[in-house]
Amino acid sequence: MGKVIVHIDLNAFFARCEEIRDPSLENKPVAIGHDGRGGIVSTCSYKAREYGVSSAMPMFKAKELCPNLIIKPVDFRYYGALSDRFKKFIRRYTKQVEDASIDECFADFTNVVKGVKDVPSFFRQLQYDLYKETKLKCSIGVAPTKFLAKMGSDYKKPMGLTIIRKRDIPDILYPLSIDKMFGIGKKTSPKLKQMGIKTIGDLADKCISDDPSLKAELGKYFYVIKDWVTGNGSDEVITTPDDPKSIGNSTTLMEDTNNRELIADTFRWLAKEVSERAVKENKLGPTIQITVKESNFKSHNKSITFDNPTNNDEKIFNIAMDLFDKNFAHMTVRLLGIALQNLIDAKDIAIQMSLFDYEKHEEESATKLLINDLNRRLKTKALMRASEVEKKDGNK
């Protein structure tokens, strides 16, 4: 018996978060992003899409298409909090959950649905319960592999449910345009079309026949694609270990981008998430690594190790951006990640610090956690440590 792999994708997630925060935005055209020179649409509501607005579109163009467009700035901290609620909800069903990005995850439901007579109704109820508890809407794909589950969640939106068994591949996937295939980027799609590959079925035919021209075009990626379209892709859900040797976070961007402002915003949010987790666990790390995945799925890592271990979000962010600017600024990227590595317990370095310095560090960490918690509850960023006020004002 094959596995039951599920991909759960939150629908128009950032826009939906803003609707939850302000219900008056429901059924209105909303775009998330920067409203200014060089601003782009990170994502938008389904109502905005009716006007032709789409992710990665320049904001000025979006406003031309939809003059009454409501623009909201990206609030990664708020979105991250709702994302955490979503992931915790899914982990009530199964601990085998793999984060795919801030608004999606894979989960292994093989043991969960054993003995379930009406599997579609089971997942419909999951959708409803998630919405009832969090007001988040999701689409679900159920399949024996991760690729098929991902294609299933994309098949119907919003609030779609698609079950793809191996025997369903020719009927459900093969008629789809090659543009609709997960893993085929905007650069590869036109090249495939020039080769006569218009649909996923066309691609499958050439994969099955080991077409040499397609092999040359896709390189090593050819064999991954072949497995995907024939239903033999990976079914391994990769979970985070309970006691990781590093603390990291990554996110798949809504669209492939080389917009530095969006990349910086994303890295800043990732740095804050990593920092907060490290502070909560009383961990410090002397190594920071960033992960960058290109639009062609090629992944790159760069890291730097320094003398003084840290869990400070600003230091993590600044180092991450420096690594990015020096190594990957020329790339169009689809995924970004930050990891704080070679973790040590803060108390383990107490011997290397004076008692006064260590207690001061511990007090500052506790204070930072308290202030962050109060700001979240008050929905403001007004509270900060006195030292931060001094830095902001430029006073010594």
Q: Locate the domains of the chain by residue range.
A: 13-76, 177-237, 246-352
- C-alpha distances (whole Å) from 217 to each of 189, 190, 191, 195 are 11, 12, 8, 10
Q: In this structure, what DSSP letter does residue 40 have?
A: B
* β-sheet bridge partners, residue 316: none
pLDDT tens per residue, range 304-361: 998 788 999 999 999 999 999 999 998 889 899 999 998 877 765 543 444 344 344 4
Given the structure tokens 């609620």, which residue do they identify? 85
Omega before 170 within 30 of 0, i.e. cis: no
* Known active-site residue 50: no
pLDDT value, residue 207: 96
Catalytic residue among 104, 255, 273, 276, which?
104
pLDDT tens per residue, range 269-281: 899 989 988 888 8
Pick among 3.30.1490.100, 3.40.50.720, 3.40.190.10, 1.10.3720.10: CATH of 246-352: 3.30.1490.100
pLDDT value, residue 380: 60
Task: Output the DSSP codes for 56-117.
Answer: T-BHHHHHHH-TT-EEE---HHHHHHHHHHHHHHHHTT-S-EEEEETTEEEEE-TTTTTT-S
The one-letter amino acid code at 120 reads P
List per-residue pLDDT tens for the chain, 396 residues long: 589 999 999 999 999 999 999 999 999 999 998 887 778 898 899 999 999 999 888 999 999 999 999 999 988 878 888 998 999 999 999 999 998 888 999 999 999 999 899 999 999 999 999 999 999 999 999 999 999 999 999 999 999 999 999 999 999 999 999 999 998 877 889 999 999 999 999 999 999 999 999 999 998 889 999 999 999 999 999 886 555 678 888 888 877 888 888 899 899 989 998 998 888 888 888 899 999 998 777 889 999 998 788 999 999 999 999 999 999 998 889 899 999 998 877 765 543 444 344 344 445 555 555 666 666 666 565 666 554 544 444 444
Given the structure tokens 């994502």, which residue do they identify? 43
pLDDT value, residue 262: 86
pLDDT value, residue 54: 92
Pick among 3.40.1170.60, 3.10.290.10, 3.40.50.720, 2.120.10.10: CATH of 13-76: 3.40.1170.60
Give the residue among 302, 291, 370 at the shortest CA–CA distance from 336: 291
pLDDT value, residue 227: 95
Give the residue among 61, 66, 91, 76 at the shortest CA–CA distance from 18: 76
The one-letter amino acid code at 377 reads R
